[in-house]
Amino acid sequence: MQLSYTNKQIKKETNKEKGIHTYLLYKQGETWDTVPVSLRARGNFRKNTCYFTPLKVYFKRGGTQNTPFENYKNIKIALPCLLEDRSNDDILKEYLAYKMYEVLSPIHFKTRLATLDYTDTRGEKDELHPLAVFLNVSNQDLYNGEEAWATRKPKNHTLLTILIEDDKVVAKRHDAKVLKRFVHPLNQEETISIINAFFQFMIGNTDFSTAYSHNQKLIFKEGKSYPVPYDFDMSGLVNASYAVVSNINNTPLDIDKVTERQYRGFKRNPTLFEDTRSNFLSKESEILKILDVHKSLFKEAKSYETAHNYISDFFAILKNDLRFQKEIVQVAREK
């Protein structure tokens, strides 16, 4: 794909109506095509911390016919956070977390990995020319009103990105609705709730809350609510350079770094824990294969090896009765 917009300006545009209007160029096979879109920034943490801001992309009505985006009103695009050599590998690992959850739960966000050639058009300079400051005049006065002084050269970046479908699309696929209210985790559907908690423990993610809908959506169907997780950049699997241990609702955790695992699920029927344990173990090879088939996309071999070892250690916990009891069952939350 290709996009052009001002990185500085997009961080100011968090409202759909005031978004940046541009064109999304995409390529299938050897053919390029375009769709008109409106962009806005999303995610308060990344907007304030990251060089690149995650995007919400809105499609113009009637502008997506016969395109890969047909029937979509909007999608999310997750971009790397920082200008680092490792950033694309981090996005790849986050994408693989989404693909692993697809194996584990029928209710999930569908995602696609894409390469984005992004041109930061950069816009106008804010600072005055030093000579203009000395003479106490504006840049435009100094340059006789010409705009040459105000133009920055565009910067080009090639980024891995994740396309993430809207929660309403997930709900429609399951003949359900998006639930926009808090539901206590113990009142959410048990099996999927435990799968979600095991999954979060598997990837070493504590940056979520099913009680406060933090990095979770709830899908309501036939009287039951189902958690659907997203945003895994703070997980131990990704281990981003900017990742910190989450402190949700001012509740500190007993870990010092994101690569340490802490089970955040609630106490449930022990039989359901054992059933979930068996379910995960039966899918070990399928989950590890997700890493294996994407090995060639990693820029650094060590990044792949670390990710593979991290997930393998989770299955080592499940296979060991003492570790399973100590690190999951006995530490399950009661409130």
* DSSP annotation of 315: H
Smallest Cα–Cα separation from 94: which of 187, 208, 203?
A: 203
Query: Could you say which residues of the chain have pLDDT below 70?
Result: 123-152
Which CATH architecture best describes the domain 176-335? Answer: Orthogonal Bundle (1.10)
Predicted pLDDT of residue 147: 46
Q: In the prediction, which pLDDT does 86 show?
A: 95
Burial of 147 (0-12, 13-18, 19+ CB in 10 A): exposed
212 and 188 in contact (C-beta within 8 Å)? no
Rounded (10°) CA dihedral 275, 279, 281, 287: -150
This prediction has a pTM of 0.90
Model confidence pLDDT, tens digit, residues 100-139: 999 999 999 999 999 999 999 986 554 544 554 455 555 4
pLDDT of residue 142: 47
pLDDT of amino acid 155: 93
Domain boundaries, the chain: 1-78+108-173, 176-335
Q: Are 64 and 72 in contact (CB under 8 A)?
A: yes
d(CA 1, CA 9) in angstroms, rounded, equals 20
pLDDT (tens digit per residue) in 268-300: 999 999 999 999 999 999 999 999 999 999 999
Q: What is the chain's length?
A: 335
The C-alpha atoms of residue 91 and residue 78 are separated, in whole angstroms, by 8
β-bridge pairing 111-120 and 2-5: parallel
Q: What is the pLDDT of residue 187?
A: 94
